[in-house]
Amino acid sequence: MMLVKIAALNLFRNTRRSVTTLSTITIGAAAVLVFGGYITYIQYGVQTNAVQRTGHLQVFRTGYFALGTAAPGAWGIDHHSTVLSLIRQDPLLRTVTTVVTPIQSLAGIAGNFDNNTSKTFFGVGFVPSDRDRMEQWDEYGTESRGLKRSGLKDGDLSKGITGIGLVRILGLCSRLHLDHCPPPPAPPSSDFAGEDAPAPLENLADLVSRDRPEADAATSVDPAIDLLAATAGGAPNVVSLQIAGVELQPWKELDDNYVGMNIGLAQNLIYGRGEHKATGIVVQLHRTQDLEIARSRLLALFREHGLDLEVRDFTELNPQYNQIIGLFGSIFSFITTVIGVVVLFTVSNATSMSVIERTGEIGTTRAMGVRRQGIRKQFLVEGSLLGAIGATIGVVLAQIVAYAVNHSGLTWTPPNAGAPVPLRLYMNGAYALMFLTWIGLFVVSALAALIPASRAARLPVVDALRHV
């Protein structure tokens, strides 16, 4: 305790230098914490988006995740309603899950044959009410929305939603009252087509017109597109979809291709009159920390019932999640390293100056009987104390900055999200980050003082006493 008292007294013998050093440590600590709080917020935001879209876990037929996406119809889960019941009724899973719902992936051609345009699409069929419940998941209070409410109803198989890019390409902007839609270019010349050969779109239009009810185009309030896909058996099938809403997707390729629809419609398209399967079962949990418990239980359940199913988590389903976290983690490591080095040199310099100024005093105390390690310890304690005080003030400063930012009303659009969300710094509860930052700066400061402290300890007493 006496050492600490002496160190504190010594620190303020050169107030300006100590304040400068403390400022460096304080700003360093605050910078690490504020950026750490920002990254934590990013991580939670991206995770929230991912979990809202894909749930925490998805169950597939074994092999689908690696091989089956090209032909989702061929990889459907047999008797998926039985599997759903199994999961929903499991006592453990029932307590940790919020939503357990089937999805059907599909791909094909979307056409607006009134406009003579078509476009490949990929889409997903879902249970609208389940999707809306998934959209409410916000474990971390980020207010981040990876999804908007679809506006679809479980019993209405005629409607769906699309990406904005898709309807733009299909020439439906004006009917959907969308802004920023450029006029479609003039149709290309058909010089190279034989006169007798019918255009492919005309063939598709014929197919569609055979399948579409006569009244559809005339009576529907929402504009409709036609979706052509191969059934599980390989035959072409077409359904009509009224666009109940459009939803900006997080990246362009998805936005230009996305179609979401009621799972019943997707199943009609893929399975026709055959057994309606599902390509996946989405499991959303109350808390992310239960993910491994839920995964283990699901796998155990499938083993018990002889089901050949695999379970993938949201980081596998959203590869960009780990990339984003990794990117921010790298930036954080870089910034932390730079701050650590700056603090190291600042404290080392301050301690070195202190040793030079107090050489005579070192000689006096050594003459009075202080051992070499006593001198070393003294300067180490002074460096550590600088680190402790600076880091403590830095933690407080970071809290103040976080409070100011969190109440400033600033917004931003996070990666993988379609709409701006409030900018937050997640400091509350980031105790591990605070503790590690504090300890890190404390240790760096102590290490920075080590070399000058050792130099002070090695000074011959008579030389130190002669120092003026």
Which residues contribute to the site for other proteins (CB under 8 A)?
2, 6, 9-10, 13, 360-361, 363-372, 374, 460-462, 465
**Pairing mode, strands 224-230 and 97-112:** antiparallel
105 in Cβ contact with 124 (< 8 Å):
yes
Shortest reach from residue 377's CB to other proteins, in Å: 13
Nearer to other proteins, 19 or 66 (CB): 19
Nearer to other proteins, 295 or 358 (CB): 358
Cα 332 to Cα 326: distance, rounded to the nearest angstrom:
10
Nearer to other proteins, 303 or 371 (CB): 371
Shortest reach from residue 440's CB to other proteins, in Å: 29
SS (H, E, C) the chain: CHHHHHHHHHHCCCHHHHHHHHHHHHHHHHHHHHHHHHHHHHHHHHHHHHHHHHCCEEEEECCHHHHHHHCHHHHCECCHHHHHHHHHHCHHHHHHEEEEEEEEEEEEEEEECCCCEEEEEEEEEECHHHHHHHHCCCCCCCCCCCCCCCCCCCCCCCEEEECHHHHHHCCCHHHHCCCCCCCCCCCCCCCCCCCCCCCHHHHHHHHHHHHCCCCHHHHCCCCEEEEEEECCCCCEEEEEEEEEEECCCCCHHHHCCEEEEEHHHHHHHHHCCCCCCECEEEEEECCHHHHHHHHHHHHHHHHHCCCCEEEEEHHHHCHHHHHHHHHHHHHHHHHHHHHHHHHHHHHHHHHHHHHHHCHHHHHHHHHCCCCHHHHHHHHHHHHHHHHHHHHHHHHHHHHHHHHHHHCCCCEECCCCCCCCEECCCCCCCCHHHHHHHHHHHHHHHHHHHHHHHHHHHHCCHHHHHHCC
Nearer to other proteins, 283 or 362 (CB): 362
Nearer to other proteins, 6 or 84 (CB): 6
Cα 259 to Cα 270: distance, rounded to the nearest angstrom:
14
- Token pair, residue 26, equals 């304080």
Nearer to other proteins, 295 or 366 (CB): 366
Angle, vertex CA 16, rays to CA 404 and CA 33, nearest 5: 30
Shortest reach from residue 402's CB to other proteins, in Å: 37
Shortest reach from residue 447's CB to other proteins, in Å: 24
Give the burial class of 14: count Cβ atoms within 10 A of its Cβ; 0-12 exposed, 13-18 middle, 19 or more buried: middle
Sign of the dihedral through C-alpha 443, 444, 446, 450: positive
Nearer to other proteins, 247 or 361 (CB): 361
Nearer to other proteins, 226 or 361 (CB): 361
Shortest reach from residue 463's CB to other proteins, in Å: 10
Shortest reach from residue 10's CB to other proteins, in Å: 5
Q: Which residue has the tokens 């005629």?
A: 158
Shortest reach from residue 354's CB to other proteins, in Å: 11
Cα 153 to Cα 150: distance, rounded to the nearest angstrom:
9
Nearer to other proteins, 79 or 458 (CB): 458
Shortest reach from residue 368's CB to other proteins, in Å: 6
Shortest reach from residue 26's CB to other proteins, in Å: 23
Shortest reach from residue 6's CB to other proteins, in Å: 7
Nearer to other proteins, 374 or 429 (CB): 374
Nearer to other proteins, 231 or 364 (CB): 364
Shortest reach from residue 8's CB to other proteins, in Å: 9
Nearer to other proteins, 14 or 129 (CB): 14
Shortest reach from residue 355's CB to other proteins, in Å: 15
Cα 30 to Cα 447: distance, rounded to the nearest angstrom:
20
